[in-house]
Amino acid sequence: MNKVISNAVIRRMPRYYRYLGDLLDRGIERISSNELSHIMNVTASQIRQDLNNFGGFGQQGYGYNVKKLYEEIGKILGLDVTHNLIIIGAGNLGQALAGYVQFEKRGFKIISLFDTNEDVINKTVRGVKIRPIEELDDYVKSNKVDIAAFTMPREKAPAMAKKIISLGIKAIWNFANMELSVPDDVVIENVHLSDSLMQLSYNIVKDKN
């Protein structure tokens, strides 16, 4: 699949995936683009356009096969393979992420947390151990690690990025609220929790303007 797909389309895919997963859980086998449009609150033509990027999946007069579409989008998103994930920074946020059962359901397996704080080292979160940061090198060398989640203090993020890249990790899920420069073969996803709070705020004030 070498076609260039716009970022905007890609950003909507996880949402399709979640909604289709909910439909599946409710035993719904097929759905028209109009119905999907209604529950997802986007236009039916947007849905058709989006899904056409990946070859369609719909049949005229039948609609979408929910299970098939769910599985295809899962494949596009790389959810049909297991990604091993380590969390660097086992404070509240790191432990909160480790506690999410949903990630595992989607193929993201949290295999270790790391921290410098003696108070949390050797504790476990849902059975996953918090290790001292000094063990990071050896751990990464002897385990397959696909993704490092950055939940350590912001100022430690740039050095840690260099470190994990030197160890061969190719993906960073970055909560450190700072843009990190990484080589082209390393992928990074920045999470800015305050962005959603600002959108909420926009919606609170907009009717008052």
**Residues at the site binding a second copy, with contacts judged by CB under 8 A:** 1, 8, 10-11, 13-15, 17-18, 76-79, 81, 83, 91-93, 95-97, 99-100, 102-103, 106-108, 146-147, 170-171, 173, 177, 187-189, 191-206, 209
CB-wise, 59 or 122, nearer to a second copy?
Answer: 122
Residue 67, C-beta contacts closer than 8 angstroms, at least 6 positions apart: 24, 29
CB-wise, 32 or 84, nearer to a second copy?
Answer: 84
Minimum CB separation from a second copy for residue 61, in Å? Answer: 29
The one-letter amino acid code at 73 reads: I
What the block records as the tokens of 98 is: 């480790």
CB-wise, 15 or 134, nearer to a second copy?
Answer: 15
CB-wise, 32 or 177, nearer to a second copy?
Answer: 177
Minimum CB separation from a second copy for residue 4, in Å? Answer: 10
Q: What is the dihedral of CA 90, 94, 99, 102, to 10 degrees?
A: -150
What the block records as the tokens of 112 is: 């270790």
CB-wise, 93 or 180, nearer to a second copy?
Answer: 93
Minimum CB separation from a second copy for residue 108, in Å? Answer: 6
The one-letter amino acid code at 194 reads: S
Specify whether the CB–CB gap between 156 and 102 falls below 8 A: no
Specify whether the CB–CB gap between 115 and 121 falls below 8 A: yes
What the block records as the tokens of 175 is: 């909560």
Minimum CB separation from a second copy for residue 14, in Å? Answer: 4
Minimum CB separation from a second copy for residue 128, in Å? Answer: 13
Residue 172, C-beta contacts closer than 8 angstroms, at least 6 positions apart: 147, 148, 149, 150, 161, 164, 180, 182, 186, 187, 188, 189
